[in-house]
Amino acid sequence: MSDNPMTDAFDAAEDEQNETNKGDAGDNFDVDRYLDALNSDSAPKDKTVGVAVTTETHAFYHELQNADEVEVNPAQSVRDHLEKLAHRHPKVFERAMRKLEIEREF
């Protein structure tokens, strides 16, 4: 049980869905559709992820953003890393996308 009742509800709904789908020959959840949209340039960037950093890291991040001689986008680098993690941990990514689908239904 977590501290977040919404997470508990998502987990319960996922467990219920898994029980319902046990008789199915295969799982038809299309993870690739979500992987394609995960870090898409055309997808709107309307959500933020909060990551706690030290004052030094924060200052460095902003300096990277503002430096003309540095050809890196720190925010895009974070998004790229999250995409790599999604490929490295497909079950966790699929669980997140299933929860997202449940959330969108409500």
Name the DSSP letter for residue 43.
S
70 to 16, 32, 53, 65: CA distances (angstroms): 49, 33, 21, 8
Tens of pLDDT along the chain (106 residues) come to 667 777 777 677 767 766 655 544 446 788 888 888 888 888 788 888 888 999 999 999 999 999 999 998 888 899 999 999 999 999 999 999 999 988 888 8
Q: For residue 79, give both structure tokens.
A: 């998004």
Helices (H), the chain: 5-21, 31-38, 55-66, 74-88, 90-105
Please list, in sequence order, all residues whose beta carbon lies within 8 angstroms of the beta carbon of residue 53, skipping any fewer than 6 positions away: 61
